[in-house]
Structure 1
Amino acid sequence: MLTRALIVVLAILNLGVACWWLLRDEPQKPAPAPQPAGVAALRWVPGGGDAAAAAEATAAAPTAPLMEREPAGKAAVAATPAPAPAVPAKPEAMLAAAPVAAVTQPAALPASTPASAPEKPATPPAAVEPPRCIALGPFADRAAATAAQGKAGNALGQVRLREQPAASGSARYRVMLPAAASREEAQATVKRIVAAGLSDYYIISQGEEANAVALGQYRNREGAERRIAAVQAAGFQPRLVASGDAGQWWLEGQLAAGSQPAQAQQRSGAAQSRSLECARLR
Structure 2
Amino acid sequence: MLLRASIVLLLALNLGVALWWAMRSPPVPEAPSAHPAGVPRLQLLSEATPQARATAASAGAADPQPEAALAEAGEAGAPRTETPPAPADASGEDAAAAPTQPSRCLALGPFADADALATARTRLQPQVLHLRTREIVEAPRGWRVMLPPLADRDAAQAAVQNLVAAGFNDHFIIATGEEANAIALGRFSGEAAARRHAANLRAAGFGAQAEPLGDAGTRHWLDVAVADGFDAAAARTETGAARADSVDCAGLAEAAAAAR
**Normalising by structure 1, what TM-score?**
0.27
TM-score by length of 2: 0.30
Which of the two has higher C-alpha Rg? 1
